[in-house]
Amino acid sequence: MPTINQLVRKGRHSKVEKSNSPALNIGYNSRKKLQTKVASPQKRGVATRVG
């Protein structure tokens, strides 16, 4: 266990949650060729046909 002095100096940090699907958290504006930080939940699904 850390000492009180160690906790005063650095403290405790909460874990950062990672997304299981990071590509769905990013939108893409193809006209401006920019990525946007708007989530795109409508992209989640199952690919039934490729090509």
* Percentage of the chain lying above the pLDDT 70 cut: 75
* Section 10-30 average pLDDT: 85
User: Which candidate, 7, 36, 11, places its Cα nearest to that of 24?
Assistant: 36
The structure's pTM equals: 0.39
* Section 21-42 average pLDDT: 79
* Between residues 26 and 9, the one the model is more confident about: 9
Q: Where are the alpha helices (DSSP H) in the chain?
A: 4-9
Q: Is 22 helix (H, G, I), strand (E, B) or coil?
A: helix
What number of CA atoms fall less than 13 Å from residue 23's CA on the CB side?
A: 3
